[in-house]
Amino acid sequence: MMKKTLVALALTLGSTLALAENQPVTLVITDDDTMTQGIALVLANQMQEQGGQVNILLCDTAGDLALKNAGGEALKPNNVTPAQLLDGAIKKGATAAVCALYLPNTGHKPEDLKEGIAPAKPADMARALLEPGRKVLTF
């Protein structure tokens, strides 16, 4: 009985780990609150460490995180800003984009964005959001 239980547990854990591996996740961040942006990006980094494929869409004031000169308030306990957390997620393989409305409505230009960040293409973003099995989280 114990052997069957251990085998079942191992299979369950293996399935759970397999689900996390390559799980596509899109985080849509629009909030201007530093703590909200921070926790969204902490979770993005954690999901990556657990095997998730993370895509980050920044819109409204959260789009400012994508700017080369993005600063912000450092959050405890690790004294990092949301912009630094975004940079970390990108370095680990996350993709990030600003919403298609961000640049034309803020006066910023594509060259103001950090390397690797560009405006999202609505058709491509819509297709990704409709993918079966994709988790979509909004902050």
Burial class (CB in 10 A: 0-12, 13-18, 19+), 63: buried
Work out whether strand 135-138 and strand 53-58 pair parallel, antiparallel, or are unpaired.
unpaired
What pLDDT, on the 0 to 100 scale, is given for residue 1? 54
Residues 119 and 25: their CA atoms lie apart, in Å, by 18
pLDDT in tens, the chain (139 residues): 544 444 454 554 554 455 568 999 999 999 999 999 999 999 999 999 999 999 999 999 999 999 999 999 999 999 999 999 999 999 999 999 999 999 999 999 999 999 999 999 999 999 999 999 999 999 9
What pLDDT, on the 0 to 100 scale, is given for residue 11? 53
What pLDDT, on the 0 to 100 scale, is given for residue 14? 54
Residue with tokens 């997620």: 89
CB atoms within 10 A of CB 69: 8
Q: Where are the domains of the chain?
A: 22-138
What pLDDT, on the 0 to 100 scale, is given for residue 73? 96
Query: In sequence order, which residues have a C-beta less than 8 Å from that of residue 8 and are 6 or more positions away?
Result: none
CATH code for the domain defined by 22-138: 3.40.1260.10
Q: Which amino acid is at 8?
A: A
What pLDDT, on the 0 to 100 scale, is given for residue 3? 47
Query: In sequence order, which residues have a C-beta less than 8 Å from that of residue 19 and are 6 or more positions away?
Result: none
